[in-house]
């Protein structure tokens, strides 16, 4: 095939080293982007933030009771400040933004969207999925029977030429998944041009929605090098599409991943419409947890200080992965990867046809990576190339071992693919 991998002698030495590793009984799991224990410990003090006044600010509502369906006013303001919006743009939910996404897609299918009929009235329901992307987004739409269409990710965001053509010509395309900042898994942040073109889409379906998962907008790795993405809600308003987007974020990787709070941000009209739809399922989410978060996090400035403490824990792990990849991959034919300024993942593209083999070899050696193909709809990477690395939850020492195994597997798989 004309690819230079390494010499036969080097390959044989790597196989011998890999076989020796098989005897060591490793067990290192970097499949998911979980916060490390040290990160979770940063928020232990929140458990002492027990509200003494149970009356929500500006209301007579007792937060221990039913009510306040769009969330605690103080929590709405905190998230509005973090996102550069106003409280009437904010709906505060439970502990999971993924849960909110699932419920909104289901409601769109069954009950419709503001200003348009329910999606199930369409002969088909399709979603655009920039790839590589977030596997749990794809699981939602697959679970609900929505057909998914791959759209290539470029260095500045998804291929807008393709998106504009598809959305404007096909009324069965009802939505699109995007992670606009430090994207999962590529680490890409959308350019201003991409955001503006997205806000100016002219969908053939009047009930089209962008699902803008801004999960990593607070998760910078550096104090002085931070990506910023345009406010899609404001851009949609200026473009005459004020109701076209739902934005999501949560504190899952800010405080406690299993006990945080999640929000939807959208136009006030969309927020009021969603509140009416959700009213059937809940009379209100956990407002005591919302109050504890507000008392602990305080304000946007304090949140950013907390996130810089997270960055101090995360940065050495990202540096370790990148340094080991640079030293351990034979040459650029074997693998390429990104160097993000934030988020939770590093995306590696190994040689076509090798990703599943690399992940399988690593698993046999006791090092577990996200399944090959998981960053594509239906778990099918047409190139069998992309692998997502999630370095957050393990120690730097374990990462050094895991990445050494990864590099060995990538080199061996490439050599065998193109030399045997």
* pLDDT at residue 50, as a whole number: 76
The two structure tokens encoding residue 53: 């006044």
* pLDDT at residue 52, as a whole number: 74
Residue-wise over 137-154: b if at least 16 C-beta within 10 A, else e?
bbbbbeebebebbbbebb
pLDDT string in tens for the chain (420-residue length) = 557 788 999 999 999 999 999 999 999 999 999 999 999 999 999 998 877 789 888 888 999 999 999 999 999 999 999 999 999 999 999 999 999 999 999 999 999 999 889 999 999 999 999 999 999 999 999 999 999 999 999 999 999 999 999 999 999 999 999 999 999 999 999 999 999 999 999 999 999 999 999 999 999 999 999 999 999 999 999 999 999 999 999 999 999 998 999 999 999 999 999 999 999 999 889 999 999 999 999 999 999 999 999 999 999 999 999 999 999 998 889 999 999 999 999 999 999 999 999 999 999 999 999 999 999 999 999 999 999 999 999 999 999 999 999 999 999 999 999 887
Sign of CA dihedral 113, 200, 135, 145: positive
Q: E-strand spans in 181-275?
A: 209-213, 245-250, 262-265
The answer to whether the CB of 232 falls within 8 A of the CB of 195 is yes
Closest to 31 measured CA to CA, from 364, 390, 324, 377: 390
Closest to 221 measured CA to CA, from 40, 342, 389, 395: 342
Closest to 28 measured CA to CA, from 303, 401, 349, 314: 401
Q: Alpha helices, DSSP H only, in 119-199?
A: 135-143, 160-169, 192-199
* pLDDT at residue 5, as a whole number: 87
Provide φ and ψ at 279, rounded to 5°.
Answer: -60, -25
Provide φ and ψ at 207, rounded to 5°.
Answer: -115, 30
Tell me the C-alpha distance between 341 and 285, whole Å. Answer: 34
* pLDDT at residue 2, as a whole number: 57
Query: 97-111 and 268-278 are packed helices; what angle lies between their axes, rounded to 10 degrees?
Result: 80
The two structure tokens encoding residue 396: 């730097």
Contacts (Cβ under 8 Å, ≥6 apart) of 131:
150, 151, 152, 153, 375, 376, 377
Contacts (Cβ under 8 Å, ≥6 apart) of 408:
14, 17, 18, 21, 328
Tell me the C-alpha distance between 377 and 182, whole Å. Answer: 20
Domains of the chain: 8-30+304-419 (3.90.1150.10), 49-299 (3.40.640.10)
Closest to 260 measured CA to CA, from 137, 100, 77: 100
Q: Alpha helices, DSSP H only, in 284-346?
A: 287-297, 300-328
Dihedral (Cα; 172, 104, 342, 186), 10-degree rounding: -30
Closest to 164 measured CA to CA, from 154, 176, 156, 155: 176
């Amino acid at each position: 095939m004309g690819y230079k991998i390494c010499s036969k002698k080097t390959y044989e030495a790597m196989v011998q080293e890999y076989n020796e590793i098989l005897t060591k009984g490793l067990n290192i799991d970097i499949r998911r982007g979980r916060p490390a224990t040290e990160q979770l410990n940063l928020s232990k003090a929140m458990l002492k933030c027990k509200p003494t006044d149970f009356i929500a600010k500006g209301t007579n509502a007792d937060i221990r009771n039913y009510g306040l369906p769009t969330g605690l006013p103080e929590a709405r303001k905190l998230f509005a400040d973090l996102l550069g919006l106003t409280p009437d743009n904010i709906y505060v939910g439970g502990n999971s933004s993924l849960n909110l996404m699932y419920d909104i897609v289901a409601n769109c299918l069954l009950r419709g969207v503001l200003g348009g009929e329910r999606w199930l009235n369409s002969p088909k329901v399709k979603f655009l999925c920039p790839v590589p992307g977030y596997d749990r987004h794809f699981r939602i739409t697959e679970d609900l029977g929505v057909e998914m269409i791959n759209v290539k990710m470029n260095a500045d965001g998804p291929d807008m030429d393709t998106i504009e053509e598809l959305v404007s010509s096909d009324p069965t395309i009802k939505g699109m998944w995007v992670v606009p900042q430090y994207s999962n898994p590529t680490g890409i942040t959308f350019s201003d041009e991409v955001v503006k073109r997205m806000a100016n889409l002219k969908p053939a379906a009047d009930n089209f929605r962008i699902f803008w998962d801004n999960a990593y907008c607070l998760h910078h790795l550096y104090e002085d090098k931070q990506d910023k993405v345009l406010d899609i809600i404001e851009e949609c308003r200026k473009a005459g599409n004020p109701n076209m987007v739902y934005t999501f974020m949560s504190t899952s990787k800010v405080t406690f991943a299993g006990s945080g709070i999640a929000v939807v941000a959208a136009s006030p009209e969309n927020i009021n419409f969603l509140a009416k739809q959700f009213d059937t399922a809940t009379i209100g989410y956990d407002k005591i947890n919302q109050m504890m978060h507000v008392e602990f996090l305080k304000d946007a400035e304090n949140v950013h200080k907390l996130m810089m403490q997270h960055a101090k824990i995360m940065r050495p792990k990202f540096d370790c992965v990148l340094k080991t990849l640079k030293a351990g991959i034979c040459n650029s034919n074997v693998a390429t990867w990104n160097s993000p300024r934030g988020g939770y993942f590093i995306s590696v593209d190994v040689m076509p046809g090798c990703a599943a083999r690399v992940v399988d070899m690593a698993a046999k050696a006791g090092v577990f990576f996200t399944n090959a193909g998981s960053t594509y709809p239906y778990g099918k990477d047409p190139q069998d190339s992309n692998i997502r690395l999630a370095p957050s939850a393990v120690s730097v020492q374990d990462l050094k071992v895991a990445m050494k195994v990864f590099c060995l597997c990538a080199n061996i798989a490439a050599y065998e693919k193109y030399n045997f």
